[in-house]
C-alpha cells in the first residue's frame, strides 16, 4: 500500500513539467479576443470622444456597454435663394396663397376680372383610356375658391385614377350633373379673363369655348417669353422654380393647382398684359334709311305699289315709267291680230320693243360650196335690180330660202 501511494503522487519533475507546458487553445483564443476588443475600444474612444457625463437626475443617453452609432445623411444640393419681391408681387404671400394659409377680407372674395380654372379627370371607356370630367375648381385673383364641384360622369367610371386625381367613389355620391356644372362655369367666365395651365384641356373637358384675347395659358406664355427651355413645362416644375414649394407630390388637388396657376400668372402679369391685343370694339348698327323730305308719304306708297305690281307681272324691266297707266286687256283674237301686224311692220313673231317674245329661233344653216356660189350670184342679181338699195325685209333672206344661201348663213325660223 505504501508503495502504491508513492507511485500515484506526482513527482517534483511532473510539477516542473506542468509549469513549462503551454496553455490550452481555449484560454489563448479568449485572451487574444479580449486584447483585440480592448484595442478596438481604445481606437473608438480616441476617434470620437465620449460626451460629458449627464447631470444628476437625467438618464444616460446610451446604456453602458451599448455600441454608439452616428447618424449619416446624404448631402443635398443647396437650393438657390428666392427673392421675396418679384415684379411687384410678394413671393411669400403667393406661397401662402397656394397653400391656402391666407385669410381674405370680404373685398377679395368677389369674382373680379381674372379667374383660374383646373379640372380633374377619371378614366372611362375601354380600359379607362378616355378621360371624363370629375371635378372643377375656380379661384379668383386672390385665390378665393368660387367654385369647387364634383361632376357625375355620363359614362361608367372604369378607373378613378385616385393616385393622381384624388377622386374616390364616395365623392360621386353628391356629385352634380354635367349640364348644371357646365352652365355655372359658363356664367362665371362670361366677360372675364380665363387663366389656366394647358387650359385647352380644361375647356375640352367642359365642352366650352372662350375668346382667345381673353385667355391666358401659363404653359404657352412661359415658353413664348423664354422663361423655360421646354415647350410644355409641367406646373409642378414651374411652381418649384418660381415659388420654391412642391405640389402634386401625391394626390392632386384642383384647388391647389388653380391657385398655383394664378400665382404664376400674377408674377408676370404686368409684362404679359402689355403684349395682349385689346378686343375689337363692337360695330354700331347701320342707320335705317330715311325718306327724302321733298317726297310725300302718299307718293312713296304709290311708287311702292307700282313696283310690286310690275314685279308680279314680269314687266317694267325695259325702263318704261311704271307709273304710266296700263293698257286695257284685249281679247285673244285682237292680240293675235296685233302681233301679226307688228310682224309685218318689222318685228317678226310679234312682241314689244326690247322684250323677247320667245317665238323666234336662230338656226345656223350649213350649205355646200356650190350652193354658196349660186346664192352669191342670185344676191348680185337682186341688188342690181333694186338699184343697190337693201330690201325692206332683209332678215327673211339671211342665208337665202330653199336651196340658196351662203355657206354658214343664218335664217330666222318662225316658231
Question: Residue 246's domain is classified under what CATH number?
Answer: 3.30.420.10
Q: Is residue 328 part of a domain?
A: no
Q: Rounded to whole angstroms, what are the CA distances from 12 to 4, 23, 53?
A: 17, 20, 56
Task: Supply the pLDDT for residue 301.
Answer: 78
Task: Supply the pLDDT for residue 256.
Answer: 95
Check whether 52 has a pLDDT greater than 80: no
pLDDT band at 188 (very low <50, low <70, confident <90, very high): very high
Q: Is residue 336 part of a domain?
A: no
Residues 303-312: tens digit of each pLDDT: 777 777 655 5
Residue 206 C-alpha cell reads as: 367642359
Q: Is residue 399 part of a domain?
A: no
Task: Supply the pLDDT for residue 160.
Answer: 94
Task: Supply the pLDDT for residue 368.
Answer: 59
Count of structural domains within the chain: 1
Distance CA 194, CA 234 (A): 19
Task: Supply the pLDDT for residue 303.
Answer: 77
Residue 387 C-alpha cell reads as: 338699184
Distance CA 94, CA 397 (A): 100
Check whether 400 has a pLDDT greater than 70: no
Averaged pLDDT, 341-359? 53
pLDDT band at 353 (very low <50, low <70, confident <90, very high): low
Q: Is residue 360 part of a domain?
A: no
- Give 365 or 39, the one with higher predicted confidence: 39
Under 8 Å CB-to-CB from 110, ≥6 apart: which residues? 140
Averaged pLDDT, 25-32? 52
Check whether 147 has a pLDDT greater than 90: yes
- Give 21 or 187, the one with higher predicted confidence: 187
Distance CA 369, CA 367 (A): 7
The per-residue b/e assignment along 373-398, b for 16 or more CB within 10 angstroms, e otherwise, is ebbeeeeeeeeeeeeeeeeeeeeebe
Check whether 7 has a pLDDT greater than 90: no
| Range of the structural domain that residue 176 is part of | 85-273
Distance CA 397, CA 128 (A): 88
pLDDT band at 178 (very low <50, low <70, confident <90, very high): very high
Distance CA 112, CA 110 (A): 6
Under 8 Å CB-to-CB from 338, ≥6 apart: which residues? 330, 350
Q: Rounded to whole angstroms, what are the CA distances from 199 to 115, 194, 219, 222, 241?
A: 12, 9, 9, 14, 21
Check whether 212 has a pLDDT greater than 60: yes
Task: Supply the pLDDT for residue 341.
Answer: 47
Strand partners, 115: 194
pLDDT band at 83 (very low <50, low <70, confident <90, very high): low
Check whether 326 has a pLDDT greater than 60: no
Which of 148-152, 163-167, 392-396 is most confident?
A: 148-152
Q: Assess contact for 244 and 255: CB atoms under 8 A.
A: no
pLDDT band at 300 (very low <50, low <70, confident <90, very high): confident
Averaged pLDDT, 316-337? 50
Q: Is residue 71 part of a domain?
A: no
Q: Is 143 exposed, middle or buried (0-12, 13-18, 19+ CB in 10 A)?
A: buried
Q: Is residue 321 part of a domain?
A: no
Check whether 61 has a pLDDT greater than 50: no
Check whether 75 has a pLDDT greater than 50: no
Task: Supply the pLDDT for residue 302.
Answer: 77
Check whether 104 has a pLDDT greater than 70: yes
Task: Supply the pLDDT for residue 257.
Answer: 95
The strand pair at 193-196 and 215-217 is best described as parallel
For residue 157, count other CB atoms closer than 10 A to its CB: 17
Residues 229-268: tens digit of each pLDDT: 889 999 999 999 999 999 988 888 999 999 999 999 999 9
First and final C-alpha spacing in the chain? 181
Distance CA 20, CA 23 (A): 9
pLDDT band at 210 (very low <50, low <70, confident <90, very high): very high
Task: Supply the pLDDT for residue 36.
Answer: 65
- Give 164 or 336, the one with higher predicted confidence: 164
Check whether 62 has a pLDDT greater than 50: no
Task: Supply the pLDDT for residue 105.
Answer: 92
Sign of CA dihedral 396, 401, 407, 411: positive
Grid look-up 324691266 returns 317
| Rg of the chain on CA atoms, in Å | 55
Averaged pLDDT, 323-329? 52
Lowest mean pLDDT, pick from 131-140, 231-240, 297-306, 338-347: 338-347
Check whether 143 has a pLDDT greater than 90: yes
Check whether 136 has a pLDDT greater than 80: yes
Check whether 402 has a pLDDT greater than 90: no
- Give 369 or 402, the one with higher predicted confidence: 369
Q: Is residue 136 part of a domain?
A: yes
Amino acid at each position: 500500500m505504501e508503495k502504491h501511494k508513492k507511485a500515484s503522487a506526482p513527482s517534483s519533475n511532473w510539477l516542473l513539467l506542468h509549469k513549462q507546458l503551454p496553455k490550452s487553445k481555449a484560454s489563448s483564443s479568449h485572451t487574444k479576443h479580449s486584447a483585440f476588443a480592448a484595442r478596438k475600444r481604445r481606437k473608438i474612444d480616441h476617434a470620437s470622444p465620449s460626451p460629458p457625463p449627464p447631470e444628476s437626475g437625467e438618464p444616460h443617453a446610451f446604456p453602458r456597454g451599448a455600441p454608439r452609432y452616428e447618424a449619416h445623411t446624404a448631402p443635398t444640393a443647396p437650393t438657390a435663394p428666392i427673392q421675396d419681391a418679384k415684379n411687384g408681387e410678394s413671393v411669400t404671400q403667393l406661397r401662402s396663397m397656394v397653400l391656402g394659409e391666407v385669410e381674405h377680407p370680404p373685398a377679395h372674395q368677389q369674382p373680379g376680372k381674372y379667374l383660374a380654372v383646373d379640372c380633374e379627370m377619371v378614366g372611362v371607356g375601354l380600359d379607362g383610356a378616355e378621360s371624363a370630367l370629375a371635378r372643377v375648381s375656380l379661384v379668383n385673383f386672390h385665390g378665393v375658391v368660387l367654385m369647387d364641384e364634383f361632376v357625375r360622369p355620363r359614362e361608367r367610371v372604369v378607373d378613378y385614377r385616385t393616385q393622381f386625381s384624388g377622386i374616390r367613389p364616395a365623392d360621386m355620391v353628391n356629385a352634380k350633373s354635367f349640364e348644371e356644372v357646365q352652365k355655372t362655369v359658363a356664367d362665371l367666365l362670361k366677360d372675364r379673363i380665363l387663366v389656366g395651365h394647358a387650359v385647352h384641356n380644361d375647356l375640352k373637358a367642359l365642352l366650352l369655348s372662350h375668346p382667345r384675347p381673353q385667355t391666358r395659358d401659363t404653359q404657352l406664355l412661359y415658353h413664348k417669353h423664354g422663361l423655360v427651355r421646354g415647350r410644355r413645362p409641367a406646373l409642378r416644375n414651374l411652381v418649384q422654380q418660381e415659388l420654391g414649394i412642391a405640389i402634386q407630390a401625391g394626390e392632386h388637388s384642383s384647388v391647389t393647382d388653380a391657385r398655383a396657376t394664378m400665382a404664376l400668372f400674377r408674377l408676370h402679369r404686368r409684362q404679359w398684359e402689355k403684349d395682349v391685343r385689346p378686343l375689337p370694339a363692337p360695330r354700331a348698327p347701320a342707320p335705317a334709311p330715311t325718306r327724302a323730305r321733298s317726297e310725300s308719304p302718299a307718293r312713296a306708297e304709290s311708287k311702292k305699289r307700282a313696283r310690286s305690281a310690275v314685279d308680279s307681272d314680269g314687266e317694267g324691266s325695259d325702263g318704261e315709267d311704271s307709273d304710266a297707266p296700263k293698257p286695257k286687256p284685249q281679247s285673244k283674237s285682237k292680240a293675235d291680230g296685233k302681233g301679226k301686224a307688228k310682224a309685218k311692220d318689222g318685228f317678226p313673231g310679234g312682241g314689244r320693243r326690247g322684250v323677247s317674245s320667245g317665238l323666234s329661233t336662230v338656226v345656223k344653216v350649213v350649205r355646200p360650196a356650190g350652193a354658196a356660189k349660186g346664192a352669191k350670184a342670185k344676191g348680185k342679181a337682186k341688188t342690181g335690180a333694186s338699184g343697190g338699195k337693201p330690201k325692206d325685209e332683209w332678215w327673211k333672206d339671211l342665208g337665202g330660202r330653199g336651196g340658196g344661201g351662203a355657206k354658214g348663213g343664218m335664217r330666222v325660223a318662225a316658231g
